Protein backbone atom coordinates (compact mmCIF):
# COMPACT_ATOMS: atom_id res chain seq x y z
CA UNK A 1 0.00 0.00 0.00
CA UNK A 2 2.83 2.41 0.76
CA UNK A 3 4.30 1.84 -2.70
CA UNK A 4 0.95 2.73 -4.28
CA UNK A 5 0.73 5.88 -2.16
CA UNK A 6 4.28 6.87 -3.05
CA UNK A 7 3.46 6.37 -6.72
CA UNK A 8 0.38 8.56 -6.40
CA UNK A 9 2.40 11.26 -4.65
CA UNK A 10 4.99 11.25 -7.43
CA UNK A 11 2.61 10.74 -10.39
CA UNK A 12 -0.93 11.77 -9.34
CA UNK A 13 -2.27 11.86 -12.92
CA UNK A 14 -0.64 8.64 -14.14
CA UNK A 15 -3.24 6.24 -15.49
CA UNK A 16 -1.05 3.26 -14.63
CA UNK A 17 -0.46 4.37 -11.06
CA UNK A 18 -4.15 5.15 -10.57
CA UNK A 19 -5.14 1.75 -11.99
CA UNK A 20 -2.73 -0.22 -9.78
CA UNK A 21 -3.54 1.87 -6.71
CA UNK A 22 -7.27 1.36 -7.21
CA UNK A 23 -6.73 -2.40 -7.46
CA UNK A 24 -4.70 -2.32 -4.23
CA UNK A 25 -7.53 -0.39 -2.55
CA UNK A 26 -10.06 -2.99 -3.74
CA UNK A 27 -7.95 -5.89 -2.47
CA UNK A 28 -7.65 -4.13 0.88
CA UNK A 29 -11.41 -3.50 0.79
CA UNK A 30 -10.81 0.22 1.20
CA UNK A 31 -13.88 0.95 -0.91
CA UNK A 32 -14.02 4.71 -0.40
CA UNK A 33 -10.40 5.03 -1.53
CA UNK A 34 -11.07 2.74 -4.49
CA UNK A 35 -14.05 4.89 -5.54
CA UNK A 36 -11.92 8.03 -5.33
CA UNK A 37 -9.07 6.55 -7.38
CA UNK A 38 -11.34 4.96 -9.97
CA UNK A 39 -13.27 8.22 -10.34
CA UNK A 40 -10.02 10.02 -11.09
CA UNK A 41 -8.97 7.31 -13.53
CA UNK A 42 -12.29 7.36 -15.41
CA UNK A 43 -12.24 11.15 -15.55
CA UNK A 44 -8.75 11.07 -17.09
CA UNK A 45 -9.52 8.25 -19.53
CA UNK A 46 -12.98 9.44 -20.53
CA UNK A 47 -14.22 7.36 -23.48
CA UNK A 48 -11.09 5.20 -23.28
CA UNK A 49 -11.99 3.81 -19.83
CA UNK A 50 -12.37 0.06 -20.09
CA UNK A 51 -15.44 -1.96 -19.20
CA UNK A 52 -13.38 -3.55 -16.42
CA UNK A 53 -12.55 -0.15 -14.93
CA UNK A 54 -16.22 0.86 -15.00
CA UNK A 55 -17.29 -2.48 -13.50
CA UNK A 56 -14.71 -2.13 -10.74
CA UNK A 57 -15.94 1.42 -10.06
CA UNK A 58 -19.53 0.17 -9.73
CA UNK A 59 -18.44 -2.66 -7.44
CA UNK A 60 -16.41 -0.32 -5.23
CA UNK A 61 -19.30 2.15 -5.13
CA UNK A 62 -21.73 -0.60 -4.11
CA UNK A 63 -19.35 -2.04 -1.51
CA UNK A 64 -18.79 1.40 -0.02
CA UNK A 65 -22.49 1.48 0.73
CA UNK A 66 -23.41 3.33 -2.44
CA UNK A 67 -22.97 6.61 -0.62
CA UNK A 68 -20.89 8.27 -3.32
CA UNK A 69 -21.94 11.85 -3.86
CA UNK A 70 -22.46 13.16 -7.38
CA UNK A 71 -19.30 15.23 -6.95
CA UNK A 72 -17.27 12.02 -6.53
CA UNK A 73 -18.79 10.22 -9.52
CA UNK A 74 -17.01 10.33 -12.88
CA UNK A 75 -18.18 12.95 -15.30
CA UNK A 76 -21.46 12.20 -17.05
CA UNK A 77 -19.82 12.03 -20.46
CA UNK A 78 -17.33 9.43 -19.32
CA UNK A 79 -19.88 7.40 -17.36
CA UNK A 80 -22.44 7.27 -20.14
CA UNK A 81 -20.26 5.56 -22.72
CA UNK A 82 -20.32 1.85 -23.22
CA UNK A 83 -16.54 1.42 -23.23
Residue 45's pLDDT is what? 97
- pLDDT tens digits, one per residue of 43-63: 999 999 999 999 999 999 999
Cα–Cα distance for residue pair 54/65, rounded to 1 Å: 17
- pLDDT tens digits, one per residue of 7-26: 999 999 999 999 999 999 99
DSSP conformation class of 54? H
Q: Structure pTM?
A: 0.77
Amino acid sequence: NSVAEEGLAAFPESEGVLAISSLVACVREDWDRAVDLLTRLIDIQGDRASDFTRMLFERAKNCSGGTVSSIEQPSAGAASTGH
